[in-house]
Amino acid sequence: MTTPRIQPIRGMNDVLPEQMAAWHFVEATAREVFAAYGYDELRVPMVEQTDLFKRAIGEYTDVVEKEMFSFVDQGGDSLTLRPEATAGVARAMISNGQLRGARHKLWCVGPMFRHERPQKGRYRQFHQFSVEAIGFNGPDIDIELIAVGARLWKRLGIERVALEINSLGTPDSRRAYREALVSYFRGHEARLDADSRRRLEGNPLRILDSKNPEMQDIVASAPLLSDHLDPESRAHFDALQSALAALGIPFKVNPRLVRGLDYYSRTVFEWITDALGSQNAICSGGRYDGLIAQLGGEPTPAVGFALGIERVVALVEQVGTAPKSPGADVYLIAQGAQAEQQALVVAEKLRDALPGRRIEINLGAGNFKAQFRRADRSGAEFALVIGDDELARGVAQLKPMRTPGGEGGTGQQLEVPLGELVAAVAARISRRD
Ligand code: HAM
Helix H, strand E, coil C: the string for 326-353 is CCCCEEEEECCHHHHHHHHHHHHHHHHH
Minimal-distance CA residue to ligand 1 atom 8:
308
How far is residue 21's CA from residue 321's CA, in Å, rounded to a whole number? 10
Instruction: Give the per-residue pLDDT at 433.
Output: 52
Q: What is the mean pLDDT of each run of 10 residues along the chain (433 residues)?
A: 92 96 97 98 98 94 93 98 98 96 96 97 98 96 98 97 96 87 90 87 82 88 89 96 97 90 94 93 97 96 98 96 90 95 95 95 93 95 93 94 57 89 90 61
Ligand 1 atom 32 nearest Cα: 304
Q: Are 282 and 307 in contact (CB under 8 A)?
A: yes
CA distances from 301 to 34, 72, 109, 371, 385 (A): 20, 33, 22, 62, 64
pLDDT at 404: 56
Pocket residue to mutate for ligand 1, from 39, 57, 84, most atoms within 8 A of Cβ: 84
Which of 128, 152, 257, 307 to mutate to test ligand 1, by most ligand atoms within 8 A of the CB atom? 128
Ligand 1 center–CA 118 separation, angstroms: 15
pLDDT at 343 (0 to 100): 95
pLDDT at position 432: 63
CA–CA distance, 85 with 108 (Å, rounded to integer): 8
List the one residue out of 93, 89, 94, 87 whose CA is nearest residue 58. 87
What pTM was estimated for this model as a whole?
0.91
- At residue 2, the pLDDT reads 86
Reported as half-sphere exposure (CB side, CA atoms, 13 A), residue 402 has a value of 16
Give the pLDDT score at 258.
Answer: 84
Which residues does a 6 A CB cutoff place in the pocket of ligand 1? 84-86, 114, 116, 122-123, 126, 128, 130, 132, 260-261, 281-286, 288, 304-308, 310-311
The rounded Å distance from CA 306 to ligand 1 centre is 5
For 259, other C-beta atoms within 10 Å of its C-beta total 20
Supply the residue whose CA is at minimum distance from atom 31 of ligand 1.
285
Contact 399/406 with Cβ under 8 angstroms?
A: no
Q: Alpha carbon of 130 to those of 28, 87, 303, 360: distances in Å?
A: 15, 11, 11, 37
CA-CA-CA-CA torsion sign (284, 108, 309, 49): negative
**Residue having the nearest C-alpha atom to atom 15 of ligand 1:** 308
Q: What pLDDT is attached to residue 108?
A: 98
